[in-house]
Amino acid sequence: MFKKFAVVAAVMFVPVAALAQNAPAAQGGALSGAATGAVGGAIVGGPVGAVVGGVGGAVVGAIIGDNTPKFQQYVVQQNVPSYTYAEPVAVGVVLPAEGVQYREVPREYGETQYRYTVVNKRTVLVDPQTRRVVQIIN
């Protein structure tokens, strides 16, 4: 029965993988990461593994591991002004088109298509095409 769930979960995510191949670059990374993570998770952990793997693989190009504190220190040293946003800052929030300054992430912190900024005194990675927050660093 476990194998049946794994196969069903894997098959559910095949259309996502196909879509990822045709998506724009900024979307393709997240979609293909989600699909790869979901299929891998389904093989290892069944349906629950598919969900966890899909979410974990979705933020391709995020700043992770040892780079996180180093990158945060870099941002502080750059003295990036904090944009005041009236709502709570969370992953998925779309920032306004005006007033926010986005900066490139130096390659030494990982290759990413995302940009960074500081919102409500929190460093965030943002998809430059949609202005959607994809990661909160601190």
Q: What is the pLDDT of residue 92?
A: 96
**Exposed, middle or buried, 111 (CB in 10 Å: 0-12/13-18/19+)?**
exposed
* Own/partner pairs, 54-60, CB within 8 angstroms, 24+ separation: 54/13, 57/33, 58/30, 58/31, 58/33, 58/34, 59/30, 59/33, 59/134, 59/135, 60/29, 60/30, 60/32, 60/33
Comparison of pLDDT for 20 and 110, the residue scoring more: 110
Residues 108, 65: Cα–Cα separation, whole Å: 13
pLDDT in tens, 73-124: 999 999 999 999 999 999 999 999 899 999 999 999 988 899 999 999 999 9
Rounded (5°) CA angle 129-65-123 = 45
How many residues are given for the chain? 138
